[in-house]
Amino acid sequence: MEDIQAIVHCDADESEAVLLEGMPEEELLYDLADLFKVFADTTRIKVLYALMGKSLCVAHIAQAVGASQSAVSHQLRVLKQAHLVRFTRDGKNVIYSLADDHVYTILSQGMNHICE
């Protein structure tokens, strides 16, 4: 079992985060809920899986997940705001890739729970 204090506190600067017997501060809870909201949609999850191990332009992502270019672009915006994907321009194309390994770990923890 992990150290629970490490969950409640993010770093040393969060020394006043403890409310309601170990409850993180309100703002942190909102940020946490917002992060999980990003993972709470199949289109976005598909996009993340499509980007595992490779970089793709928007059109190829749309093809991989079976959604329209516009829908994917809207969702990529959400993923960008959550710092889950990065992008670089390549001429007319914009190439997206996963931002860091948190995507892997969060998705795999979810899968672990579903499959018991």
Instruction: Please give the single-letter amino acid code of residue 3.
Output: D
Residue found by looking up tokens 């289109």 in the block: 43
What are the two backbone dihedrals, phi and then psi, of residue 30, each rounded to the nearest 5 degrees? Answer: -65, -45
The residues that bridge with 98 in the sheet, in sequence order, are 85
Which residues are CB-contacts of 10 (< 8 A; sequence separation ≥ 6)? 17, 28
| Of 10-18, 21-29, 65-73, 99-107: span binding DNA (CB under 7 A) | 65-73
Q: Which helix (H) or strand (E) holds 96?
A: strand 93-98
Cβ proximity to DNA, 9 vs 96, nearer residue: 96
Cβ proximity to DNA, 9 vs 56, nearer residue: 56
* Residues that bind a second copy in the complex, under the rule CB under 8 A: 1-2, 4, 6-8, 10-11, 20-24, 26, 28-37, 39-42, 45-46, 49-50, 52-53, 64-65, 83, 100-102, 104-115
* Residues that bind DNA in the complex, under the rule CB under 7 A: 37, 40-44, 57-59, 67-71, 73-78, 87, 89, 91-94
